[in-house]
Amino acid sequence: MTQPILVTGATGNTGRHVVSGLLAEGVPVRALTRDPARAGLPEGVEVVAGDTTSPEDVSAAAEGACAAYLVWPGTDEAAEGAAEVVAALGGHVDRVVHLSSTGATEGDGGVWGSVERAVRKSVREWTFIRGGGFAANALAWSDQVHRGVVRAPFGSIRRSVVHERDLAAVAVRALIDDAHVGRAYVATGPEVISQAEQVRVLGETIGVHARWEEQPLDEARAELAEAVGEDFADQIIGHWSENGDVPEPVSEDVSRVLGRPALTFRDWARDHAADFAPGG
């Protein structure tokens, strides 16, 4: 392959692994990032400046590429420009692999449904990787675990969280192998684990006894609203208030695509132990 593959979100949790996975396959990589000087990507990657939500930036970055890995900001407001950006991308590349969400199949699918519809309309070859809970969300507890207590809501919810390395590995296969065109994969971990149990595992990994302390919902909502906005905070609280007793399903799609078991949350904890240590 002589044409590069464009990776958006190249400095994010999955993007860095997509970049390294493509390089390992001998594929030239072009990375789109807002700040190339701070990207810190491997030698040999063509790094270009731009914003994924800008049609002009995406079009310029995609020129001459053969495929693209697309990560889109997960807010409903961002969905408004998705069609224009995806059309600009589809004007240059034949294949798009989009990191979507299992939420794309619920109701109108929100931002993820909007992006998927835009991709189907504008791109000849597509693959959707519908992630459920991302193990990387546990990084929100990085400043609490080493102190022994994580204070947050919904400790009992049971999630099939997926390692970002698995998401990236599936994306690499879909970008370079024709067998995955037109497929929508549900990407989860191989087990269901509660949030409280995740904290215990993280503590064991760094050598401390860590426990969950349930946080009142009104307090949690106020903190979420400050971080992600009131509407998104209400969506999160509402979803888990309604569905907290139902464990997330476990999909075998990751193991089918990769030919090996999906990585566990304990695997993820080992990979990220330094993030949870004091000063991490």
Domain assignment present for 105: yes
Model confidence pTM above 0.75: yes
Domain assignment present for 76: yes
Task: Name the domain count of the chain.
Answer: 1
Domain assignment present for 108: yes
Q: What is the pLDDT of residues 172-201, one digit of tens each?
A: 999 999 999 999 999 999 999 999 999 999
Query: Mapped to the 3 state alphabet, what secondary structure does 150-184 carry?
Result: EEECCCCCEECCECHHHHHHHHHHHHHCHHHCCEE
Residue 89 is part of a domain; what is its CATH number? 3.40.50.720
Domain assignment present for 38: yes
- Pair 161, 199: CB distance under 8 Å: no
pLDDT at residue 60, rounded to an integer: 97
Domain assignment present for 24: yes
Domain assignment present for 174: no
Q: Which residues, including other chains, have CB under 8 Å from residue 272's CB and lie 6 or more apart?
A: 138, 139
Q: What does the alpha-carbon distance between residue 243 and residue 49 come to, in Å, rounded to a whole number? A: 40
Q: What is the pLDDT of residues 31-69, one digit of tens each?
A: 999 999 999 999 999 999 999 999 999 999 999 999 999
**Domain of residue 41, residue span:** 5-131
